[in-house]
Amino acid sequence: MTRLTQLPTTHRLAVTLPVLLLAQLGLVAAGSWPQLSARTTGEEIQLRVRPVDPIDPFRGAYVALNYPDLRVNGARGRDGGLGSMEDGENGTVYVTLRDDGDVWVAEDWTRERPDDGTYLRCDDRYWQIRCGIESWFLPQDEALALEKAVQRGTVVATVKVDGRGNAAIVGVSQD
């Protein structure tokens, strides 16, 4: 018999419940850490965007965003995405960025984490590269205004990027 099973039921519950709650909190923290880290410690940059699809009737005021300046070497992805490296590997891709005046643009894609500079940590395990900044949720009336703004001109996303390349959208506005 273990020591825990020798305890009365109320004592076992008093020990087990806090352990389970801490484990759940740990899982939530681990799952949301990249977004939280980018939002709290990230450097703010501007990226030019285009909506890929307008408001989704099933998910509400949802806009899928395309970042044309993040493509490298003329890559063309399906549905306006960033494409893929097509090097036969899957996993983490780093998109190094450079300041190009009003917005930041891709400089290179690499499998190796850059030693310095601003970069996005992305994933290409599926059919296109994902950097965690491909969707933007907002109220219905604002979604319609954003769609019209895109038709009239350039829209930029304000994105925070932390020192490990984790990114989070903090705003979308007309340039």
- b/e per residue 30-52 (b: at least 16 CB within 10 A): eeeebbebbbeebeebbbbbebe
Question: Look-up: residue for tokens 């950097």?
Answer: 131
pLDDT of residue 78: 46
Q: 87-112, pLDDT tens digit by residue? A: 777 889 999 999 999 899 999 889 99
User: 63: exposed, middle or buried (C-beta count within 10 Å: 0-12, 13-18, 19+)?
Assistant: buried
Low-confidence ranges of the chain (pLDDT < 70): 1-8, 30-34, 50-62, 72-85, 150-151, 153, 175
Task: Break the chain into its structural domains and give their ranges.
Answer: 3-34, 42-174
Burial string for 80-115 (b: 16+ CB within 10 Å, else e) reads bbbbbbeeeeeeebbbbbeeeeebbbbbebeeeebe
pTM score of the predicted model = 0.66
